[in-house]
C-alpha cells in the first residue's frame, strides 16, 4: 500500500525486525510505504498498539501500522513553540514523550499535549526504562537519569560527556534503552559514527563499537538508533544510509547495509 499526502517525496517504510527475521533484512521488501511531504528529518516512535507517531513540518501525525492509515494529525503550536528533537513511547505512563528545546512534553491518547518538565539545557535525545527517563543534552554534554511521578520529577544521576566517551570523540547524538542496556551513537573525531553500549544502572561501558563504514562521506549530526536487542541495532544516518549493526560477539563486529 502506498499513500500520498503531497507531490514531494520521502518515504517511511515498514520492515519486520523480529529476532527470527533479522537475517532476512538484506532481502527485505517493505510491507507498506508512506510518502512524506518533504525530505526533512522526522523524529518518530512506535507504541504498544501498532501505532507510529512522527513529527513533520510542525505537525504530529499518528499512523496505524502496517498500512500507514492516518488516525490523526495535529499541529504542535501553540502547546510547543520549538521543533521536536526526539520522541519515545512510555509504556508505564501510556503516552508519547516529546522533547523540544529544553522541555519534555507528553501526548496522550486524547490528543492533549502537556508539559512534563523544563530542564536546564537543550535536549537532543530521550529514552526510558520502566522506571526512569534518560535525557541526553546538546552534543551529548551530559546524560541525566530522572524519575517522574504525577506531581514532579527527581534527578537521580548525571553522567558528563568526559566520563562516557573518549577524549577525541566529538559528542553523542542518540540514546536508546533496551532491557538493562543503553546504546548511544558516538560521533568520532573524523565525523564517523560508532555505537557504544552501557550498563543502564552504572553507565559502565559494556561494548565499544567499531567505526560504521558509511557509503557517503557527508558530515552531519544525524545518527539515529533503533534497538532490536541489546547488541543488535538499526542505525540510520543523514545520508540515506540504513545499517544493521551486530555487536553480539565482542570479537566479531558485523555490519550490513540494508538500504542499497
Q: Is the pLDDT of residue 10 over 50?
A: no
pLDDT score of 6: 38
Q: Pick the residue with more confidence: 109 or 4?
A: 109
Strands (E), 8-152: 11-13, 33-35, 44-46, 51-56, 59-64, 69-75, 84-90, 95-100, 103-107, 113-118, 123-128, 133-137, 142-148
Percent with pLDDT over 90 in the chain: 52
**pLDDT tens per residue across span 140-192:** 999 999 998 866 899 999 999 999 999 999 999 999 999 899 999 999 998 88
Q: How would you label 10-19 residue by residue, b for 16+ Cβ within 10 Å and e otherwise? A: bebebbebee
All structural domains of the chain, each given as residue ranges with its CATH number in brackets, are: 1-118 (2.130.10.10)
Give the pLDDT of residue 9: 32
Contact of 25 with 244, CB cutoff 8 Å: yes
The neighbour count for residue 155, using CB atoms within 10 Å, is 11
- pLDDT of 17 higher than 80: no
Confidence at 31, pLDDT banded by 50, 70, 90: low
Residue 128's pLDDT is what? 94
Residue 132 confidence class, pLDDT cut points 50, 70, 90: very high
* Number of Cβ atoms within 10 Å of the Cβ of 49: 10
Amino acid at each position: 500500500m502506498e499513500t500520498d499526502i503531497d507531490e514531494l517525496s520521502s518515504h517511511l517504510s515498514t520492515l519486520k525486525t523480529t529476532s527470527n527475521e533479522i537475517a532476512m533484512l538484506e532481502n527485505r521488501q517493505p510491507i507498506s510505504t508512506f510518502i512524506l511531504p518533504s525530505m526533512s528529518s522526522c523524529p518518530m516512535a512506535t507504541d504498544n498498539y501498532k501505532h507510529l507517531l512522527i513529527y513533520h513540518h510542525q505537525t504530529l501525525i499518528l499512523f496505524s501500522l502496517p498500512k500507514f492509515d492516518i488516525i490523526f494529525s495535529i499541529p504542535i503550536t501553540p502547546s510547543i513553540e520549538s521543533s521536536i528533537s526526539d520522541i519515545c513511547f512510555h509504556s508505564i505512563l501510556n503516552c508519547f514523550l516529546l522533547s523540544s528545546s529544553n522541555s519534555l512534553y507528553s501526548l496522550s491518547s486524547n490528543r492533549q499535549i502537556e508539559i512534563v518538565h523544563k530542564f536546564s539545557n537543550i535536549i537532543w535525545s530521550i529514552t526510558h526504562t520502566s522506571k526512569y527517563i534518560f535525557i541526553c543534552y546538546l552534543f551529548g554534554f551530559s546524560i541525566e537519569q530522572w524519575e517522574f511521578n504525577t506531581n514532579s520529577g527527581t534527578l537521580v544521576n548525571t553522567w558528563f560527556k568526559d566520563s562516557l566517551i573518549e577524549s577525541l570523540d566529538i559528542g553523542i547524538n542518540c540514546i536508546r534503552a533496551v532491557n538493562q542496556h543503553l546504546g548511544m551513537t558516538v560521533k568520532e573525531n573524523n565525523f564517523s559514527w560508532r555505537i557504544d553500549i552501557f550498563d543502564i544502572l552504572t553507565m559502565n561501558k559494556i561494548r565499544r563499537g567499531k567505526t560504521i563504514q558509511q557509503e557517503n562521506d557527508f558530515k552531519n549530526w544525524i545518527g539515529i538508533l533503533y534497538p532490536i536487542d541489546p547488541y543488535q541495532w538499526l542505525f540510520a544516518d543523514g545520508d540515506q544510509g540504513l545499517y544493521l549493526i551486530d555487536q553480539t560477539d565482542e570479537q566479531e563486529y558485523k555490519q550490513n547495509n540494508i538500504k542499497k
